[in-house]
Amino acid sequence: MSRHIPKSKSAVFSGYLITPDKFEEFVSSLPVPRSWESEELDDEHEPFLEFINEYCRWRRRRDPNKKKCLPMIRARYAKRDEPSVTSDRISHMFFATRCVPYESPCQMKKSHPDSQRLRAETERDRALFNLFKQTAESEGGKIDRDMVTFGIIRDWHPAHDPYCF
């Protein structure tokens, strides 16, 4: 069976944004090695990347039935005029619940009618977040609805994503 590969290498994702400090809090609650506490990390090393790596490793090692409830993580990078928390300008981490191919910049504008569908949180989005929360909590993790906000980002389309695994 052939898989349709969209022309656009980008997609607009709807889902949940979490600030780096809340993401660190969440990952610290998981049963993962605390590699970010290592004294062997040099000053040039970005400790926040260790939180991302540990979440990804933790997610990959879950039972397939649980893993499907644990979203891949994406980074939202700060624009030039926005503050960022990390040295590589990450402003938020992002748990996607759905996506559509990116077609034009107007999709990202709040005033565009197509944008409203992407920006509106649906019952399905809430159900996916609750499933994620329950699955993470069953493994010892702590994530609450007040730690995240609903939003959209533009990123690699999953069919073209070189980092997708």
Q: How far apart are CA 153 and CA 90, in angstroms?
A: 13
CA distance 14 to 151: 6
Of 77, 82, 76, which Cα lies nearest the Cα of 94?
76
3-state SS of the chain is CCCCCCCCCEEEEEEEEECHHHHHHHHHHCCCCCHHHCCCCCCCCCHHHHHHHHHHHHHHCCCHHHHCCCCCEEEEECCCCCCCCCCCCEEEEEEEEEEEECCCHHHHCCCCHHHHHHHCCCHHHHHHHHHHHHHHHHCCCCCCHHHEEEEEEEEECCCCCCCCC
pLDDT tens, per residue, the chain with 165 residues: 345 565 778 888 999 999 988 999 999 999 887 766 666 655 555 667 888 888 988 998 988 888 888 888 888 777 776 655 556 677 788 999 998 888 888 888 888 887 888 999 999 999 999 999 999 999 899 999 999 999 998 887 777 666 654
Cβ(14)–Cβ(114) below 8 Å = no
Count CB neighbours of 92 within 10 A. 22
